[in-house]
Amino acid sequence: MNVFSRPTPEAQGLGMTSQRARDRLIARLKEEGIADRRVLDVLTRLPRHLFVEPALESRAYEDTALPIGHGQTISQPWVVARMTEALIEAKIPAKVLEIGTGSGYQAAVLAALCGTVYTVERIESLLREARKRFRKLGIENIRSKNDDGRVGWPEFAPYDAIILTAAGEEIDAALFAQLAPDGVLVAPVGPPGAQRLLSYRREGEAWKAQMLGQVSFVPLLGGVA
C-alpha cells in the first residue's frame, strides 16, 4: 500500500490543500460524469498539491490544468479521471505505458490502480522532479525514462494499456504495435484547438475509436530536452 492511502498531516488540516478541498473536487468530478468508484477513491487520496509548484498549491484541488514549468502542464483532474476510467474499464491492466510523465500525477494515479506503470518523459528536469515525488509518496511500481516516447518503450511491450498525455496529429504505428491484443490506448488526437480524446480498441484487424470528449493538451514533441 502506498503512503498516500493514509491522509498526510497537511491533508488532515483545513487549509486549501485539505481533505475538504479534495472532497469538493471529487463532488465536482461526480457532477461532471466521473462514476468509477476506484478512480474517485484514488483522486480523493492522492495529494495533487505535491505535484505542483509550491506557489500554486492552493489551486491544486481546482478542476483545472496548472503550469509545471518548461511550458508544460499537469492535466485537469477531470481529464485524468476520464482517461483513467477508460484505461481500467474492461480490466485492470497489469502493465501500462504512459507517454508524457510531466509532473508524475497521472502516473501516480495509475500506479495506485494497475500493476506496473512505465512512463516516458522527454524533458529530463521534469522527470527528475516526478521521480522525487514517487519516492516521497513511497510509490514503487513506476519505471521511468528520459526519452522521446512517440515510439513507445518496446523493451517491456506488450502493454495492456497505453496512455498519451500530450497530443499529436496522429498516433505512431509503433505504439499500436506495443499494445496487447485486447489492450486499450487512450490519447488526445488532433491539432491545437481541435483535439479529441479518443479510446482505441482492436476490433478484428481494425482499430475502433470511441470519442471521450473535447480536450486541450500540450503538443507531443520530438527529441529529448
Question: Which residues are known catalytic residues?
Answer: 75
CB of 206 to ligand SAH, least distance (A): 26
Give me the residue whose beta carbon is nearest to ligand SAH: 102
Q: Which is nearer to ligand SAH, 145 or 202 (CB)?
A: 145
Interface contacts to ligand SAH, rule CB under 6 A: 72-75, 99-100, 102-103, 105-106, 120-123, 126, 148-150, 165-166, 218, 220-221
Cα separations in angstroms, 114 against 48, 181, 190: 19, 18, 28
Q: Which is nearer to ligand SAH, 142 or 218 (CB)?
A: 218
CB of 208 to ligand SAH, least distance (A): 25
CB of 203 to ligand SAH, least distance (A): 27
Put residue 130 in one of left, alpha, beta given phi > 0 → left and psi -120 to 50 → alpha: alpha
Q: Which is nearer to ligand SAH, 102 or 190 (CB)?
A: 102
Check if the beta carbon of residue 33 is closer than 8 Å to that of residue 43. Answer: no
CB of 55 to ligand SAH, least distance (A): 17
Q: Which is nearer to ligand SAH, 100 or 183 (CB)?
A: 100
Q: Which is nearer to ligand SAH, 13 or 154 (CB)?
A: 154
CB of 134 to ligand SAH, least distance (A): 12
